[in-house]
Amino acid sequence: MIDINLIRTNPNKVKENIKKKFQDQKLHLVDDVLEMDAKVRLLKQEGDDLRSKRNSLSSKIGVFMKEKKLEEANTIKAEVVKNNERIAVIEKEVAELDEKIKQAMMSIPNIIADDVPIGEDDSKNVQGNVYGEPFVPEFEIPYHADIIEKLDGADFAAARKTSGQGFYYLTGDVARLHSAILSYARDFMINKGFTYCIPPFMIHSSVVNGVMSFEEMENMMYKIEGEDLFLIGTSEHSMIGRFMDTIIPEEKLPLCLTSYSPCFRKEIGAHGIEERGIYRVHQFEKQEMIVICKPEDSDKWYDKMWNYSVELFRSMNIPVRTLVCCSGDLADLKYRSLDVEAWSPRQKKYFEVCSCSNLTDAQARRLKIRYKTSSGNNELAHTLNNTVVAPPRMLIAFLENNLNADGSVNIPTVLQPYMGGMKQIMPKK
């Protein structure tokens, strides 16, 4: 959510930003906010004038009562009652308008960075750097679900019976590999100076509304029936929510946290070969990183965070590239975002495995996450998040890039301690 003062002082900048995001249907919200804000100001001024007048009249009542001028006192009492009734009406109108302004403001997208590429959808995202040499082996690489099944590492049929499409059982060495990747990612981030956390996996609607847009919530979140609780779609939601209504001492910033959680998402996308297996699922596990920092430090942390992802994937022999997200591909709260994509030798193309975002003060404003400066002022912090690893997709990239012609899978040196010293996973079928 942006600062309403920006709409008051530079509405054209806000409208231009909306156009850059190809959301012209939201342009009217700027004028709506300005109109409602003007009404609120007038109403508040009227209310202040009435309260001042009420105080003056109330003092006269005492004087008339002492002088036994009951008629004059009763006349003023009637006027005070009338003022109180009008004040009550004003307060109700102001509360209703404030809520409408809040809802409109929450639908207006955050101001994007000046260097964000302009484009209507992800087809206009811009490739950044390539890390590692993408390769295609001489042998044919099977689809990832087939690789996993030959390793006796999954049971998709049973999961469809117990839970439906978009779920899976991982078993044996593949399940161990899945956990090993998460454990390695955890320790990787701890060694970068991040504090490890395991957050709640359910959050209140007040947190959901603070961390994401209405559109994202509708597409992603599972609601617990009969309760004000949602299953998290990523631990970022719970981790950022931890600091709502908090004033952080400046000397404690930046807060650098890495969190493990299961994640639950409604939307799994279109069906087809690339959707079969574990590419798009309703439930998965993920290691996340978040940073809460001072505004002047957020761009620096943004670059650090996505570089950590590149380093992590390269340590497991996986070529990656970066992809800068264009304006139309940015969620409403994002200032800038970059995807790290892993190389798929089977598909001969890259696919997304990490997403790093700087949200400036958009989440902090909604959740009232502030820090106290050395001068004693309370300022809004900046929030950032990035995927460390999400093993379903990461597992696909890992298996394809470490697969041998005989169906065995090499275990990179960095993962061997987490696999009991195992150097290869051998096919079982």
Q: What is the mean pLDDT of the chain?
A: 92
The pTM score is 0.89
How large is the average pLDDT for residues 376-385? 97
Query: Do residues 183 and 200 lie in contact, with contact meaning Cβ atoms separated by under 8 Å?
Result: no
- CA dist 156 and 159 (Å) reads 5
Is residue 32 in a domain?
A: yes
Instruction: Kindly state whether residues 20 and 103 are assigned to the same domain.
Output: yes
* pLDDT for residue 249: 96
* SS3 call for 186: helix
The pLDDT value recorded for residue 64 is 67
Question: Is there a contact between 255 and 240 (Cβ–Cβ < 8 Å)?
Answer: no
Token pair listed for 425 = 């996973």
**Residue 122 to residue 118: CA distance in whole angstroms:** 10
Q: What is the pLDDT of residues 236-283, one digit of tens each?
A: 999 999 999 999 999 999 999 999 999 998 865 444 444 566 667 888
Q: What is the pLDDT of residue 83?
A: 86
Structural domain contains residue 114: no
Lowest mean pLDDT among 135-144, 240-249, 378-387: 135-144
CA separation, residue 103 to residues 11, 36, 53, 109 (Å) = 17, 12, 33, 12
DSSP annotation of 381: -
With contact defined as beta carbons under 8 Å apart, do 365 and 333 qualify?
Answer: no
Q: Rounded to whole angstroms, how far apart are CA atoms 271 and 275? A: 5
Say what the pLDDT of residue 305 is.
98
Number of domains in the chain: 2
Q: Do 63 and 76 contact (CB within 8 A), yes or no?
A: no
- pLDDT surpassing 80 at residue 333: yes
Same domain, 354 and 409: yes
Residue 251, helix vs strand vs coil: helix
Tens digits of per-residue pLDDT, 177-209? 999 999 999 999 999 999 999 999 999 999 998
Q: Does one domain contain both 321 and 178?
A: yes
Beta bridge partners of 286: 261
CATH of the domain at 273: 3.30.930.10
pLDDT score of 285 more than 90: yes
CB 303 within 8 A of CB 398: no
- In our burial notation (b when 16+ CB lie closer than 10 A, e otherwise), range 38-65 reads eebeebeeebeebeeebeeeeeebeebe
- Domain holding 83, by residue range, is 4-107
Q: Is the pLDDT of residue 63 over 70?
A: no
